[in-house]
Amino acid sequence: MIDAKHLVKEYHLGGQTVRALNNVSVKIDAGELVAIRGPSGSGKSTLMAILGCLDYPDAGEYWLAGEDVAGLSKNRLAEIRNQRIGFVFQTFHLLPRMSALENVELPLHYAARHDARERALKALDIVGLSDRTHHEPNQLSGGQRQRVAIARAIVTDPAIILADEPTGALDSRTGEEILALFKTLNDQGRTIIVVTHDPAVARHCRREIYLMDGRVAEPESGRMGEWEMMQ
Amino acid sequence: MILWMILKVALKSLMANKLRSILAMLGIIIGVGAVIAMLAIGAGTQASVMGRISAMGTNLLVVRPGQRGTGGVMSGTQQNMTLDDATALLTQVRGIRAIAPVVSGNGQLKYFGKNARATVMGTSITYMPIRAFEIERGEMFTEQDVERMARVAVIGPVTAENLFGASDPIGQTMKVNGINFRVVGLIKSKGDQGYFNPDDQLIVPYTTAMKQLFGLDYLREIDIQAKEDADLTQLQADALAVLRKRHRLQPGTPDDVNIRNQADLLETANEVSKKFTVLLGAIAGISLLVGGIGIMNIMLVTVTERTREIGIRKAIGAKDRDILNQFLIEALVMSALGGLLGVGMGVGSAEILGRFTDFATIVKPYSIFLALGFSAAVGIFFGYYPATRAAKLDPIECLRYE
Ligand SMILES: Nc1ncnc2c1ncn2[C@@H]1O[C@H](COP(=O)(O)OP(=O)(O)O)[C@@H](O)[C@H]1O
Ligand SMILES: [Mg+2]
């Protein structure tokens, strides 16, 4: 499903070059529930942006479902983000002044689908928010907002869900609920990638990719042990 | 994306910043309002000028002496038109129905200790039909009065009011420049024409005016009414030829009289209104430009403020074109809304001007469509740059934007 080889991404800031990704290769199969873990600044978000077709690598290859992403136009990338990928962010990134339902419908409007209302209601039902469809984001709790965001991510029925620190802004109990939701969605066959710095979150996933200074690395022994005990 | 959805977002974002949106639209509102009001004044003025021109009488030609002096130095009108000229025109030029010789001067009027000033026109009885004057009460003086050099006058309603107040002027005797005149008729009001008020004058036989009042032997003008089927241009040329011959002008020397017909006057009026329209166009252009800049400014602010939103939309699948359309439509909604408010303001102020001032105003439907069309075009034109800026933004940078 996802096959990234030797990804390099550099940022240039005032004469200084930051190598956010330094020869990163990851391979993720359809139906996996994977954590991308690493300390802050290790390049997780950068990797996620590239895997999510929001950004280009400076070097390396990225094959998504057998297609070489490097050769695709901006419009085609937008279509891929719309149809094959669902994003969930730490701070939810819902649009203000739009109801939960309208937020969830939005990706379908960009796909020019005419059954938007119906499908959005179904997605909200899956995340357990059928009774909050007409609330605006500022009328919802953090956990509820993240559920709306997840509904928006799954509404186009994408193969992959990319979640960047999805529990980072939530208390631990709400976080657990969100992770449980991801598990359910994964059980239904969706590929889910959770980016986190938190080993406790990573523990909910079936596999972990550990990043350190822009490279894939072996996690420090202690945490590795914990994680292996989980398996 | 579905248009309705975009419109909804656009309206919501305008409503979210009501004051700011109104301030941004102000340029367009004022511009469109001013254009509509001024076009209404233009149309109203033109209509009333046309009205005045036809109030002067139909098929009218006016012969006036030319300017004295040569080489562009103007020093008053010549004193070269006589009663014989008038008679010659009537007998020698074809297509003339009636002719009226006219002299004029200032009159000091007196009636039982009351004083008034008025223009005194000395003319023949034909002046009334030629100049479309009617008698309200009493009657016009007669042909015999002209021949007998009678001291009789018909009087304009304003002059009558000034001199006689509420009492009936008919049959009264007043003094004009110290000479007794009997008022025989009251002229029906035509309304003030701006440069000249036909209601404030006195009409007396030209014989009396020339010999007794002013001591003149030349005319101020000769008014000609052409027959309905006459060719005015031909008539004008013929009349000019007759007068040139009578004044013994050599071929090649300039005319010493000036003949104007209504077609000329209409043309002048149209010329003026054309210049007025060009001026209005320039004002409209400038105000819409200012309005457009206001909208562009606020759209740039909006794009910056909503950078995060742009990033989110792109992440969930918006193409550059979708973002472009969204902001373009927001600019369009703003300018069109401003245009509508401006139309309301323009129509309202035209109405108020027409009711409470001397301006005549007519709001023509085309001016409304023109103004709305222009403001929509301004929205698209000035919205395009901010919208392309929004569309070109990099999604990942937008999402990181604080
Ligand atoms: N737009 C950018 N400009 C400059 N440096 C950046 C930019 N984005 C990320 N970086 C740098 O790249 C590195 C990796 O960042 P990121 O992928 O956000 O890490 P993580 O998500 O693991 O915390 C960091 O050192 C960060 O400072
Ligand atoms: Mg990060």
Last residue of a domain, one of B227, B256, B287: B227
Q: Whose CA is nearest to atom 6 of ligand 1?
A: A11
Q: Which positions 49-78 of A are in contact with B (Cβ < 8 Å)?
A: 49, 52, 54-55, 74-75, 78
B190 pLDDT above the threshold of 90: no
Q: Which of A95, A96, A110 sits opposite B317 (nearest CB)?
A: A110
pLDDT of residue B34: 87
The overall average pLDDT reported for chain B is: 89
Contacts of A202 (CB under 8 A, 6+ apart): A35, A37, A194, A196, A208, A227
- Clarify whether residues B202 and B291 are in a common domain: no
Q: Is A20 in the pocket of ligand 1 (CB under 6 A)?
A: yes
**Claim: this prediction has a pTM higher than 0.80:** no
B70 pLDDT above the threshold of 70: no
Q: Is A41 in the pocket of ligand 1 (CB under 6 A)?
A: yes
The verdict on a CB contact (< 8 Å) between A156 and B317 is yes
pLDDT of residue A224: 46
| Topology (CATH) of A30-56+74-217 | Rossmann fold (3.40.50)
Contacts of A24 (CB under 8 A, 6+ apart): A4, A6, A7, A8, A43, A47, A60, A211, A214, A215, A216
Q: Which of B311, B317, B320 sits opposite A79 (nearest CB)?
A: B317
ipTM above 0.95 for this complex = no
- Look at residue B86 and tell me if it is in a domain: no
pLDDT digits (tens, 9 = 90+) for B214-257: 999 999 999 999 998 888 889 999 999 999 999 999 888 888 89
**Count of pairs with CB atoms under 8 A, one residue in A, one in B:** 65
* Number of compact structural domains in chain B: 2
Minimal C-alpha gap between A171 and chain B (Å): 23
Q: What is the three-state SS of chain B?
A: CCHHHHHHHHHHHHHHCHHHHHHHHHHHHHHHHHHHHHHHHHHHHHHHHHHHHHHCCCCEEEEEECECCCCCCCCCECCCCCHHHHHHHHHHCCCEEEEEEEEEEEEEEEECCEEEEEEEEEECCCHHHHCCCCEEEECCCCHHHHHCCCCEEEECHHHHHHHHCCCCCCCCEEEECCEEEEEEEEECCCCCCCCCCCCCEEEEEHHHHHHHHHCCCCCCEEEEEECCCCCHHHHHHHHHHHHHHHCCCCCCCCCCEEEEEHHHHHHHHHHHHHHHHHHHHHHHHHHHHHHHHHHHHHHHHHHHHCHHHHHHHHHCCCCHHHHHHHHHHHHHHHHHHHHHHHHHHHHHHHHHHHHHCCCCCCCCHHHHHHHHHHHHHHHHHHHHHHHHHHHHCCHHHHHHCC
- Look at residue B122 and tell me if it is in a domain: yes
pLDDT digits (tens, 9 = 90+) for B249-282: 988 888 889 898 877 777 777 788 788 878 877 8
DSSP A140: S
What residues of chain A lie within 8 A of the CB of B13, using their CB?
97
Q: Is A107 in the pocket of ligand 1 (CB under 6 A)?
A: no
What residues of chain A lie within 8 A of the CB of B319, using their CB?
74-75, 78-79, 110
The verdict on a CB contact (< 8 Å) between B2 and A109 is yes
Q: Which of B9, B314, B399 sits opposite A78 (nearest CB)?
A: B314
pLDDT of residue A220: 65
pLDDT of residue B118: 93
Minimal C-alpha gap between A110 and chain B (Å): 5
Average pLDDT of span B285-294: 87
Residue ranges per domain, chain A? 30-56+74-217
The lowest-confidence range among A85-89, B41-45, B371-375 is B41-45
Q: A117 CB near a chain B CB, below 8 Å?
A: no
10-residue block means of pLDDT along chain A (231 residues)? 95 92 96 95 95 95 93 94 96 93 94 91 96 96 96 96 95 94 95 95 94 89 46 44
pLDDT of residue A160: 96
- Clarify whether residues B365 and B301 are in a common domain: yes
Q: Whose CA is nearest to atom 16 of ligand 1?
A: A43
Residues spanned by the domain of B34? 3-52+268-400
pLDDT of residue B347: 95
Q: How far is the CA of A53 from the centre of ligand 1 (A)?
A: 17
pLDDT of residue A171: 94
B73 pLDDT above the threshold of 60: no
Last residue of a domain, one of B227, B252, B287: B227
pLDDT of residue B8: 86
Average pLDDT of span B65-77: 64
pLDDT of residue A140: 96
In the chain, the amino acid numbered B398 is: C
Q: Is A40 in the pocket of ligand 1 (CB under 6 A)?
A: yes
